[in-house]
Amino acid sequence: MNEALVVGKNQETPAAEPPLRVLIAAARPESDAQLTAILREAHQEAAIEAHPSVETALEALSGGNFDIAFISVDLDGEEGIELIGVAPTIAPKTAIIGIVDHRDPERDAQCLSAGALDCLVLEGLTPALVWHVVRFGVSRKRFEDRLRANNDQMVRHLIDLRDAKERAEEQGSAYVGVAEELSIAKEELEEALSKAEDNERRYRALSDTSPVGIWQMDTKGNTLYMNDSIKRLLEVPDDYDCLTIQLESLVIGDDTAPMHAALKRWADGTPGDAELRVTGMRTGEQYHLVMSGVGLPATARDAATILVTAVDVSERKKAEAAMHHMAHHDALTGLPNRSLFLQRIEFSLSETTRSGSYMAVLFLDLDHFKDVNDTLGHPVGDELLIQVSQRLLNCARGSDTVARLGGDEFAILCSNLKSPDQAAELAQRIVETIAHPYNINGDEIHTATSIGISTFPTDAKEPARLVSFADMALYTAKEQGRSNYKFFDAKMDEVVQRRKALENELRDSLLSEQLRLHFQPQIDLISGRLVGAEALIRWQHPVRGLVYPGEFIPVAEQCGLISPIGQWVIEASFIQAKRWSQTLTDPFRVSINLSAVQFRQKNLVQRITEMVESTGTDPDTIEFEITESMLMENPDQAVKAMWGLHELGFSLAIDDFGTGFSSLAYLKKFPVDCLKIDKSFISDMLDDPDYATITSSIIKLAHSLNLRVVAEGVENVQQAAFLLEEHCDLVQGYLYGKPVDADTLAKRLSAA
């Protein structure tokens, strides 16, 4: 994903060069930004499309029409090489160029062996070099396209030569009665035939050596001519009479109807493509061929024919099938993931309704699994999950679906049950089986599981609710001693119990230092530099792992913990901001959200003053964010608090601007430095003209008041392009980076 859209110096391109379509799939956002800037300088009219992962890049290559693609060798680990390997198959007209961050002969050789035309090193990369590579790659691909087109023209020319030969023979026989003229005509005819035969041999040789399969057939699919490439694709034996081959005899049954439809279109004079599956004549292996057909009209002596070129796309199909499997299955265990599991439930609901039977969802996780990762390492934890998944499969019936939903959470779908008791029997069997010791690398590891069960039609009729209710029952099972199972009960006061438990754990978190700060990068949209970050709280729960604020902040607000938590956030952010200010040469600002409870405190300014003195933080490195609703709740108190913070030297930003009801009069009254556009406007502005207008208006309003503008929730390059055109100052969102811990962000800052 791009760090930013960088505006570089434009360079005039030759008028004869057509606009280029370029795909970039870089391993790191900064590499993406660097290459984008160089391409902009090399070719200002290039249409550049960036993709952050193998999956999105593969989808774009399959459906796009790119002239050239720059693919990082290290994209998504080793999958970057795999993408380079399949790219020529799924996008045969696209020049593939590998990208590495540093010169490494071994990686260069690996990149070129995978199928790239060249391998570029980002270090020292210049627009001139990029333009040279682009022209070479695109020219080569266009030459290959012209070669394929010439092959078709060659075959037509062969037919014309044959007709010329026949006409010459007819002309020769017309002069039988005139000896002298016959002799002359015969000599001319022999010379013409000799040239025709030479041309025919030359074009036949070119046709047979063409990498594209060429197949001429009549309108019913009977073979008239095959070049060597199509014979190899169809596995035609060397001694086999290819003129006896019919297309229909090779096409797999389900594709027979599409084949006849394609033949009819081509015979009627409508060129086009048809994707057909055929069976190899020797091995019986199935191949996917894309056939491009065109009808050749009838001549005086011959009936109409069809000329077909064929390309094998079997590898592309395999790659697409692999990507589909990856999208619906867990990479570690191979089990269905949450998405596929919910689909299976949806299908099973209709089947169970018709049969009048029962269906059950079992939800389970491993007790203290995090301890295994922390003490023995993640490789051991992964092996434990693999062995657990195998035991679950052994416990379940063949018709059941066992899925891994994430982490150490598993779920099982049981259909066609005579009664819920069968689900209880399975749950008990799983509890006992999982409790048996595991041998991993010579170590004996023990774990246990608790299981929650929901049933259809008793508990719910929607997939998500069945999973949710089973999850609730799981927590009840854990509270009642673990290593057991529990059916969901509508009378469970689970929400209250869970909130109370969360409240107690949250109090402990303050004492046991479980709270963490993550930082979401803020990017200067013009320069592309990382100039700040928004501090976001996380709770590193000892059992549940990383807990996000949406789960515990409402509880903290209700039980009175929001003030000490908010104070911790401010103090921790101050300390981190000071560390960065001591190591960074460029200005870097940390944004801190103030809660409504904090903002209402009368001693807010005093407390922050004390924290500035105790931490030694420079207020210039801090920006406080306050929502519109907080300002309008008590405007007079808000003005007083904001002026107090402003006089200390802090910057102030209005968060989620546009969602409240503040007026321009109040906006000028407050000592505001920045407006943050709510992400709801950003996410919909490309589809809804009203949101686009609102976004543009907020930016213009802010600039008219000499305020900075930050756009939140930027997730794709189209949104970034719109904001760049509207002169937005700063952006943050998943396009530029998810929230990360301070150490991770520090590495990114040092690499910038």
Give the tens place of pLDDT for each residue, 85-94. Answer: 888 888 888 8
Residue 347 has pLDDT above 60, yes or no: yes
Nearest-CA neighbor of 229 among 243, 246, 209? Answer: 209
Tell me the C-alpha distance between 175 and 184, whole Å.
10
Distances in whole angstroms, Cα of residue 658 to Cα of each of 121, 207, 638, 639: 45, 66, 18, 19
List, in sequence order, every residue forming a beta bridge with 330; answer none if it has no partner: none
Give the per-residue SS3 of 652-677: EEEEEECCCCCCHHHHHHCCCCEEEE
For residues 79 and 47, the answer to whether their CB atoms sit within 8 Å is no
Task: Write down the pLDDT at residue 208.
Answer: 57
Beta bridge partners, 741, equal: 518
- Give the strand order in the sheet containing 485-487: 401-406, 409-417, 358-366, 449-456, 485-487
Cβ neighbours for 71, distance < 8 A, ≥ 6 positions apart? 23, 25, 57, 80, 83, 84, 87, 96, 97, 98, 99, 116
pTM of the model: 0.39
735 vs 546: CA distance, rounded Å: 22
Question: What's residue 460's pLDDT?
Answer: 82
Categorize the per-residue pLDDT at 15 as very low, low, confident or very high, splitting at 50, 70 and 90. Answer: very low
Confidence band (pLDDT; 50, 70, 90) for 2?
very low
CA distance 745 to 533: 9
Paired tokens of 670: 């407050």
How far is residue 718 CA from its own chain's centroid? 15
pLDDT at 287 over 60: yes
Structural domains in the chain, sorted by start: 21-125 (3.40.50.2300), 150-317 (3.30.450.20), 329-492 (3.30.70.270), 502-751 (3.20.20.450)
How far is 329 from 323, CA to CA, in rounded Å? 10
pLDDT of residue 707: 93
* DSSP β-ladder status, 68-72 and 401-406: unpaired
In this model, does residue 653 exceed pLDDT 80? yes
From the list 385, 428, 380, 431, the residue with the least C-alpha distance to 404 is 385
pLDDT tens string 581-622: 999 988 999 999 998 778 878 888 999 999 999 999 999 999
Token representation of residue 99 = 């990208």
Half-sphere exposure of 140 (CA within 13 A, CB side): 14
Q: Reply yes or no on whether the pLDDT at 481 is more than 80.
A: no
pLDDT bin (cut points 50, 70, 90) of residue 13 is very low
- How many Å apart are CA 316 and CA 63, to the nearest integer? 12
Highest mean pLDDT among 183-197, 372-386, 565-579: 565-579
The three-state secondary structure class of 617 is coil
Q: How confident is the model at residue 176 (pLDDT cuts 50, 70, 90)?
A: very low
- Please compute the mean of the pLDDT values over residues 16-27 and round it to a whole number: 77
**Residues 142-168, mean pLDDT to the nearest whole number:** 69
H/E run at residue 530: strand 530-541
